[in-house]
Amino acid sequence: MRILICEDSVLLREGIARLLTDAGHDVVAQLPDATALEAAIAAADPDLAILDVRMPPTRTNEGILAAIGIRSRGDRPRVLVLSQYVEERYAADLIASGPAGFGYLLKDRVADVRDFLAAVEQVAAGGTVLDPEVVSQLLARRRHDGRTERLTPRERQVLALMAEGASNQAIADRLYVSAGSVEKHITAVFQKLELEPEDGNRRVLAVLAHLDAPRTGGGAPDAPGGIR
């Protein structure tokens, strides 16, 4: 896989590059800020861009705005955002900017190299990976609309785990229920959110129904979840 890294911390940038190279990936560009990001993407044609949120010159939102811009222009490269913080305003915009192929991880909560590499591969393959703290903060700040009010506490819990990218079996393991029960809850979520089979990736659309402000929202899940 061809990967671009945009991270202002040289130690972290080099460390991520070494991890990815050791895992068999090709790091095609390493940038200290987003100034030359578009040119680097055009020249290197990466499959995945890993971006820090806060970078020079202002160290506020350069990285996440660049991520939103990349996703608004198509599905390549996929985007994985790494941050010290949950930038709630922009995180919701990032999620709403496309149905798949993105991730948002908090640096201090990446505790296992294998999990990080799995997240990289999942995002590059078109999947969605969200740190549970990102999900919790976004869900907590939204109010319910008419559709999400229809969900039971268990259905909201299942939806929060779906938002983190968990498979049906992973959700079942976290909630100590059968995979069949999870399938029934997910079917109920789709029905109550009025998502039809022809709507495409209904899992992502269901998550967006919670996170897409200001029309819709969601409440905090009954228990925290974890990324796959």
Q: What are phi and psi of 111, to 5 degrees?
A: -100, -10
The tokens 């899940």 sit on which residue?
221
More confident residue, 128 or 43: 43
Q: What is the pLDDT of residue 4?
A: 96
- Confidence at residue 219, expressed as pLDDT on a 0 to 100 scale: 37
pLDDT of 85 over the 90 cut: no
Which two three-digit tokens encode residue 10? Answer: 């040289």
| Percentage of residues of the chain with pLDDT beyond 90 | 34
pLDDT of residue 143: 47
Instruction: Supply the pLDDT for residue 130.
Output: 80
0.85 exceeded by the pTM?
no
Contact assessment for residue 213 and residue 142, using Cβ atoms and an 8 Å cutoff: yes
Q: What is the pLDDT of residues 135-151, one digit of tens each?
A: 767 666 554 456 677 88
Tokens 């995180």 belong to 91
Domains and their CATH numbers in the chain: 2-130 (3.40.50.2300), 138-211 (1.10.10.10)
Q: What is the pLDDT of residue 224?
A: 35
Query: Residue 59 pLDDT more than 90?
Result: no
Mean pLDDT across 166-192: 90
Give the C-alpha separation, 162 to 169, whole Å: 11
Residues 181 and 150: their CA atoms lie apart, in Å, by: 18
pLDDT grade, residue 223 (50/70/90)?
Answer: very low
Contact 52, 15 (CB under 8 A): no
The closest alpha carbon to 165, from 101, 74, 76, belongs to 101
Instruction: Band the pLDDT of 97: cuts 50, 70, 90.
Output: low
Q: Name the strands in the sheet holding 102-106, side by side, starting at the edge strand that comes first in the sequence.
A: 26-31, 2-6, 48-52, 78-83, 102-106, 128-130
**194 conformational bin, left if phi > 0, alpha if psi -120 to 50, beta if neither:** left
CA distance 71 to 90: 13
Cα 90 to Cα 81, 97, 156, 196, 213: the distances in Å are 11, 10, 23, 28, 11
